[in-house]
Amino acid sequence: MSVLREAITPSFFETDALGHINNTVVPKWFEKARLPLFRIFTPDLNPADWRLIVLKIEVEYSAQIHYQFPVEIQTWIAKIGNSSFVVNQQVLQHGEICAKGSTVMVHFDYQQQASAPMSEEQKSSLAEFQLAGA
């Protein structure tokens, strides 16, 4: 069981009029950090073969995030169901948690326009990133 870690250097264009990283940026960072999880379902990331949708995303901000200082996005699986899973993530800057979030992802059949059960192999791959007690 391991936590995925993604280092990001905030860009100037991600700041707002107050001089810190805009709150709309964090969900984008979270999506970028979920890339290894997306590869479990679509190894080549080909949109024509995409098998996931976002059902719900929540972000809670606890500190300002500043331009010019790197951040680390930590990602892990909190729960694995039959056709969905919950991803927990957090943004750290200077070792401080600045934001945390949760995303519910659904394995989806676009032809049927319905959720689809995940394979045991997919569940097993997700479980590699599941933290005990998460």
Contact 69, 93 (CB under 8 A): yes
Provide the pLDDT for residue 35.
96
**pLDDT > 80? residue 60:** yes
Provide the pLDDT for residue 133.
56
Q: Is 32 helix (H, G, I), strand (E, B) or coil?
A: helix
The mean of the pLDDT values for the chain is 94
Greater model confidence, 131 or 96: 96
89: which residues sit within 8 A by CB, 6+ positions away? 30, 33, 34, 73, 74, 75, 76, 100, 101, 102, 103
The residues spanned by each domain of the chain are 4-127
Tell me the two tokens of residue 39.
Answer: 């590869």
Provide the pLDDT for residue 2.
86
In the chain, DSSP finds a helix count (H) and a strand count (E) of 3, 6
Provide the pLDDT for residue 1.
66
Pick the CATH number of 4-127 from 3.30.70.420, 3.40.50.300, 3.30.230.70, 3.10.129.10: 3.10.129.10
**What mean pLDDT is predicted for residues 41-56?**
96
pTM over 0.95: no
Provide the pLDDT for residue 134.
52
**pLDDT > 90? residue 131:** no
Provide the pLDDT for residue 16.
86
